[in-house]
Structure 1
Amino acid sequence: MAVLEDRFGRTFPYLRLSVIEACNFRCSYCLPDGFHARPERPQPLGREEIARLLRGFAEVGLSKLRLTGGEPSLRRDLPEIIASAAAVGGIERIALTTNGTLLDRRVARWREAGLTNLNVSVDALERARFHAITGHDRLDEILRGIELARGLGFAAIKLNAVLLKGLNDDQLPAWLDYLRERDVSLRFIELMRTGDNAAYFQRHHLRAEALEAQLRETGWSLLARAADAGPAREYAHPDYAGRIGIIAPYSKDFCAGCNRLRVTHTGDLRLCLFGNVGIPLRPWLQDDADRDRLVAALRAQLGLKAIGHRLQQGETGMTANLSTIGG
């Protein structure tokens, strides 16, 4: 199989596909005023379009798929999307990133449909902190949903927490208590500047390297990175069942191991989370006969992928907020 490769020798077995733009949370770092639909907005990709997209990507080496949003659980046909992805040859892992509000009602069905990996956003373990960050007092039911998911045989369950100075940067002791007996991975994600959060970023950005130093000082060891892993640097400790990952987009050489592409809910290819261009793929998703043209378009666009983002220079590209592409 001829895989997708850019001019820097990086290959791309990992696709992050947004299936919906809407989100039902009001996270302070993303959608503090909530989601507001645009009246002229195009419809998200339908199930057949998604299936054609995935079959095309599978021809050029796709092995890991992550479904994102917005909040992907708001799509009522999410189980059918998962099942359709599971039927595509070559896709070995199907992951979902969710805020967890529907876990207790729907996670068993997602698992039955073929979901293999689960990420849940949990920015704090105290109800008041969680409410302040997300705009919703739903921490208890989300944690119940995670416990339910832990009994369903997922290959991996990861929890995501955006690291926020003055809001949740003192939560590490609570997280360590949580991880001592639970075989889940916690991902601390360094806050990223987007098009509409400049003032918030200035107030709450905290470099992740400080947290990494704290982990190393207390006996946590850096693990080797798997070939198809995401961008996290993962740490383990012999006294804890869980692991801790650090996603530090402002760190040196963060983009050197990039192995993922993104497609928006309307079918635009994004070569980088903070790129300036979206390439419409939807015209080649209307008929199975267009697959060769879809694959050719993917190969051509990889020649334009830059060596890395320019966040350090304050350039956020097309990303107004992370709900538009799912992070």
Structure 2
Amino acid sequence: MLIDGCGRRIDYLRLSVTDRCDLRCAYCMPPEFDSYEIPDNWLSFSEIVRICRIFIDLGVSRVRLTGGEPLVRSRIGDLVQDVGQLPGLNDLSLSTNGTRLTQFASKLLASGVTRLNVSLDTLSPVRFLTLTRRDALHDVLAGLEVARESGFRLIKINMVWLPEFNGDELDAMIKYCMERNFVLRLIENMPMGDSARQLGSSSLQPLIGQLRERFHLVDHIVAGGGPARYLGTPDRSFSVGFITPMSQHFCEACNRVRVSVTGRLHLCLGQNDHLELLPMLRGGSPDHEIANQIRAAVMQKPLSHEFQKNPMKVVRIMASTGG
């Protein structure tokens, strides 16, 4: 098992396959951002598979492929299939903005992805354009319908909670998810870079109590290795999760690390500590040496983030970190 210095078992890897995206969501990427990594610095597919295999040998059983937007990377279906066939991997999922799901949903399912997390912060075309700087809401909604019809075991809708922007859409989003058997997840915005900090963050705590009472929700368990706390209707017809890194952090139970598209192992979203894997991968290091370096790095995983105490500490943006 992979155990950190706080005694937490690390069994979940989020791995970014690209820092590129076809949207420019305000909380993820500044409007002027163009500092993408050159493709020569990206992990190759064989390097990604190798990293996954090393982590699986260390006890990781869940892998989520992320971006940027993972579906913009060429031949992504081949990568998904190769990762999905790794012995010891119990759960392969993917995060996406949904714009390309009409093209890829069936291929992803056939390649071993059983769960999708889809970012959808608004059902308004005008607001979608404002937030993402792209007129693509129709593509996302169409992609979600194709994914639902394809038969994914679970589709989660990630809605970043920005009450001054989308707070009046909560009822519409709940109705949308209920009708399609999607799990809604509400997320507090994190101060990852200046663009995200400018949007601010609002606590979900009052809303949790309101929704519990309004829909007679009870504590609920939904598949996945992430930090969301879930409530659901007694008949399980609707579930809603809350990711609260600001108002009620979940650091004591953190079970995950992230690897960027350049092979940088991030131990915590709210800290700058990291380990560079790419030089070892391309420098001839054998798997056992890389595994030992990962073990040593994970022992330095901090107890918690410092978003509240030191919100200016992390200057990298979410797109370059890996979602």
TM-score by length of 1: 0.92
Residue of structure 2 equivalent to 1:242: 238
Query: Contact conserved, 1:184 with 1:241, CA < 8 A, in 2?
Result: no
Query: Contact conserved, 1:193 with 1:314, CA < 8 A, in 2?
Result: no
CA shift for structure 1 position 221:
2.6
CA shift for structure 1 position 315:
3.6
Can you list the C-alpha shifts for 1:133-171, whole angstroms capped at 9, x where unaligned?
111222122111111111222221111111113110111
Q: 1:265 to 1:86 in 2, by over 3 A?
A: same
Q: 1:199 to 1:54 in 2, by over 3 A?
A: closer
* Matched AA of 1:320: R
Residue of structure 1 equivalent to 2:3: 5
Spell out the pairing of 1:294-309 with structure 2 (5 A cutoff). Answer: 294-309=290-305
Can you list the C-alpha shifts for 1:36-86, whole angstroms capped at 9, x where unaligned?
145767521001111110110011111111111111111012111111111
> Alignment partner of 2:257: what SS?
strand
CA shift for structure 1 position 208:
1.2
CA shift for structure 1 position 291:
0.6
Query: Contact conserved, 1:277 with 1:318, CA < 8 A, in 2?
Result: no
Can you list the C-alpha shifts for 1:159-191, whole angstroms capped at 9, x where unaligned?
111111311011111012113322111111101
Query: Contact conserved, 1:26 with 1:34, CA < 8 A, in 2?
Result: no
> Alignment partner of 1:168: what SS?
helix
Q: Residue 189 in 1 paired to residue 187 in 2?
A: yes
Q: 1:159 to 1:199 in 2, by over 3 A?
A: closer
Can you list the C-alpha shifts for 1:204-255, whole angstroms capped at 9, x where unaligned?
x211112212211213434355796211111112477331111000133521
Q: Residue 284 in 1 paired to residue 246 in 2?
A: no
Residue of structure 2 equivalent to 1:179: 177
Q: 1:316 to 1:52 in 2, by over 3 A?
A: farther
Query: Contact conserved, 1:181 with 1:242, CA < 8 A, in 2?
Result: no
> Alignment partner of 2:42: what SS?
coil
Can you list the C-alpha shifts for 1:2-45, whole angstroms capped at 9, x where unaligned?
x1011222111100001111111121222241641457675210
The equivalent position to 1:263 in structure 2, one of 259, 264, 274, is: 259
* Matched AA of 1:187: R
TM-score by length of 2: 0.93
> Alignment partner of 1:181: what SS?
helix
Query: Contact conserved, 2:99 with 2:140, CA < 8 A, in 1?
Result: yes
> Alignment partner of 1:187: what SS?
strand
CA shift for structure 1 position 287:
8.1
Larger deviation: 285-294 or 205-214?
285-294
The equivalent position to 2:225 in structure 1, one of 229, 232, 241, is: 229
CA shift for structure 1 position 124:
0.6
Higher helix proportion, which one? Answer: 2
Q: Residue 310 in 1 paired to residue 306 in 2?
A: yes
Residue of structure 2 equivalent to 1:165: 163
Residue of structure 2 equivalent to 1:254: 250
Q: 1:59 to 1:198 in 2, by over 3 A?
A: closer
Superposition RMSD on alpha carbons, in Å? 2.2
Query: Contact conserved, 1:19 with 1:67, CA < 8 A, in 2?
Result: yes
Q: 1:85 to 1:231 in 2, by over 3 A?
A: same
CA shift for structure 1 position 326:
2.5
Query: Contact conserved, 1:103 with 1:146, CA < 8 A, in 2?
Result: yes
The equivalent position to 1:273 in structure 2, one of 261, 265, 269, is: 269
